Amino acid sequence: MTVIAQSGPGPGQGGIAAPAAGGPAQAPAELAPRARLWPAFAAVYRAQLSRARVARIPLLFVATFQSVGIMIMMRGVVDAGDGEAARAVVAGSSVLVVAFVALNLLAQYFGQLRASGGLDHYATLPVPPASVVLGAAGAYASFTVPGTLLTAVAGCVLFHLTLTTVWVLAVVIPLAGAALSGLGAALGLLAPRQEIATLLGQLGMSAALLLGVLPASHLPEVIRWARDLLPSTYGVQAFARTLGGSAHTDWAAVAGDLSVCAGVGVVSLGVATWAYRRAACR
């Protein structure tokens, strides 16, 4: 990247055009370069990831404990061994970690940043809005990796399901993460007040919990429609389909579910970027 205006001593440096002192006409000064999309994304992502050490670790534990707790509870009513119910519980609990962190916590974070004026920091830097949103969303999606893996492994052991397809989480987490963190960021940035951002995040997570963990065939039809509208559902379905082992998996359906996640991710991150632009300059 070219670095103009950042170094070099002497007056006239620093991106200032140097007109004759007192001269009537002044050419517009040279502008410092913008930050480019990917380097700026990398910088925001790295900074956000580092916040985990300071602020997020306890909440990551909460997310994991909640999911493992739900599975232990459900073990009392659902038989172990391959079956729709066992798959739904394990896949739903695993994706719930993603919903908790990427949707709920990110909505709260952006809500708080917006309410406190923290967005000003980014808005007064020449950084593409998409880098800020993608950087934060990417970091929150990354926070979910250990908890989701732990939950999935614990669930497979608890319900006697195969561990051979857990690798599919390598695709499920980024795509469900993109969809849910995009949604979380958009909710946080669009909510008129911080409390409403928090409330929406919580509601989104509760919906992911209630509609994700229970097997679809046990739900009334109206609830099933609601379930189909929730992006986390497609992450849950994709993972649930694979839990019977590779040989019994309808991979085309998995790909279909994941492409819904990807599509929702693209749209919701786009909306979040628009919302950020709107929130940053009034």
Provide the binding-site residues for other proteins, judged by CB under 8 A: 1, 3, 5-7, 9-17, 19, 21-24, 26-29, 31-36, 39-40, 42-44, 46-47, 50-51, 54-55, 112-113, 115-127, 280-282
What gap in Å lies between CA 58 and CA 72, rounded to an integer? 21
Min dist CB 220 to other proteins, Å, is: 41
Q: 121 or 248: whose CB is closer to other proteins?
A: 121
Distance, in Å, from the CA atom of 213 to the CA atom of 85, rounded to the nearest integer, reads 9
Instruction: Report the C-alpha gap between 220 and 196 in whole angstroms.
Output: 29
- Please, which contacts does 22-25 make with residues 24 or more away whose CB atoms are closer than 8 Å? none
- Closest approach of Cβ 45 to other proteins, in Å? 10
Q: With CA atoms as reference, report the closest residue to 254 among 179, 174, 171.
A: 171
- Tell me whether residue 43 or residue 153 sits nearer to other proteins (CB atom): 43
**Which CB atom, from 51 or from 224, has the smaller least distance to other proteins?**
51
What burial letters (b/e) apply to 245-254, b meaning 16+ CB within 10 Å? eeeebeeeeb
CB of 10 to other proteins, least distance (A): 7
Compute and round to an integer the Cα radius of gyration of the chain.
23
CB of 189 to other proteins, least distance (A): 14
Query: How far apart are the C-alpha atoms of 257 and 251, rounded to whole Å?
Result: 10
Q: How far is the CB of 273 from other proteins (least distance, A)?
A: 15
Crossing angle of helices 129-158 and 84-98, rounded to 10°: 150
Considering only CA atoms, which of 10, 37, 15, 27 is closest in space to residue 135? Answer: 37
* Number of Cβ atoms within 10 Å of the Cβ of 174: 20
Contact 156, 64 (CB under 8 A): no
Q: Which is nearer to other proteins, 31 or 72 (CB)?
A: 31
Shortest distance, CB of residue 53 to other proteins, whole angstroms? 8
Q: How far is the CB of 262 from other proteins (least distance, A)?
A: 28
**Cα 257 to Cα 91: distance, rounded to the nearest angstrom:** 13
- Please identify, using beta-carbon distances, which residue of 4 and 85 lies nearer to other proteins: 4
Question: Of 14 and 270, which CB lies nearer to other proteins in the complex structure?
Answer: 14
**Closer CB to other proteins, 40 or 141, in the complex:** 40
